[in-house]
Chains A and B, each alone.
Chain A
């Protein structure tokens, strides 16, 4: 019995497929309703901040979230340690 289970598990790639799909689809769905200007907006905000603080691309994130009939534009900037020191 155990050997059968072992063999079955080794071939059970469907579970992997399901997990990969759940991740990529939830990511793609979250992108689906964002306006086209969001990446450009992020670029420009990054450029402004970079004028004053040494910062890299992945330290700024811009999200647009809908709540009922209003939308919240959320801007997250991770400050480098040396600025705070």
Chain B
């Protein structure tokens, strides 16, 4: 039975697509057959983050409208054998997404795949609602910042009331908090909400902390999911998050600021640079 996971946040720019790319890659690297779907109709970006933007022929909406079959629209990742991408449509309006259409595609994918990752668009419009409607689990991507935390709480409310599981009164969607762009140094200075603060406010279990990292931009520049940058802090943090998602126990890393010696402070490079 395939598991449907929505990656959501409410607020834009917090790292949903980066996280969708990293987590789907991480699951596939561990041998689980995984497909990642872009629900951001009209503003597709998962393809460019995954580095397959030039291989898009058919998209999600083409399949819903019967203009192509799933096999034609799915893009097989060139680096990871068990990974497939279903791109969003770039031109058509988001009303093309219907519950029946999405359900049909998810049902067909469920026959073939172990994990279906739904990359939600920002906001709470049709695309976002469709991406979470059929979910079994939700990864709520949050930045340690007031607007992001508030929007995440709003999304948690929607997950608990407007999704199929909620409407049918089945077991609720399993929620995970993924804290991204975390800067332990600023937290220690009292300038940024800490992981404890965010956990206390949102009251859902933490699946990972992704540190603010230069590796993320570097990865998106080249169209490589950051989890493949095995030496970067963000890559390691995503690997840990995937391991926890699969039920492994992993201590949280990148929670504390590593104190730099005076010489390293003066002459050293940033941690990410040294490792990369």
B-binding residues in A (CB < 8 A): 8-9, 11-15, 17-18, 20-22, 24-25, 28-29, 32-33
Contact = CB atoms under 8 A, between A and B. Distances in A.
Contacts of B191: 11-14
Contacts of B187: 14
Contacts of A14: 187, 190-194, 197
Interface string B174-194: 000000000000010111111
A62 B39 CA distance: 40
B189 A18 contact: no
Interface of B: 145-146, 149-150, 153-154, 157, 161, 187, 189-194, 197, 201
Given A14-B191, A15-B190, A32 B157 contact: yes
A17 B197 CA distance: 10
B157 A17 contact: no
A13 B189 CA distance: 9
A25 B201 contact: yes
A29 B158 CA distance: 11
Nearest to A15: B190
A21 B189 CA distance: 19
B193 A18 contact: yes
B149 A21 contact: yes
A55 B161 CA distance: 37
Contacts of B161: 32-33
Contacts, number: 47
Contacts of B145: 17
A34 to B, nearest CB: 12
A9 B157 contact: no
Given A21-B193, A25-B153, 16 more contacts: A8-B189, A8-B190, A12-B189, A12-B190, A13-B190, A13-B191, A14-B190, A14-B191, A15-B190, A20-B146, A22-B201, A25-B149, A28-B153, A29-B157, A32-B157, A32-B161
Contacts of A8: 189-190
B190 A28 contact: no
Contact of A25 (B150, B189, B190): B150
Contacts of B190: 8-9, 11-15
Given A9-B190, A12-B191, A18 B150 contact: no
Nearest to A25: B153
Contacts of A24: 150
A9 B190 CA distance: 8
Contacts of B157: 28-29, 32
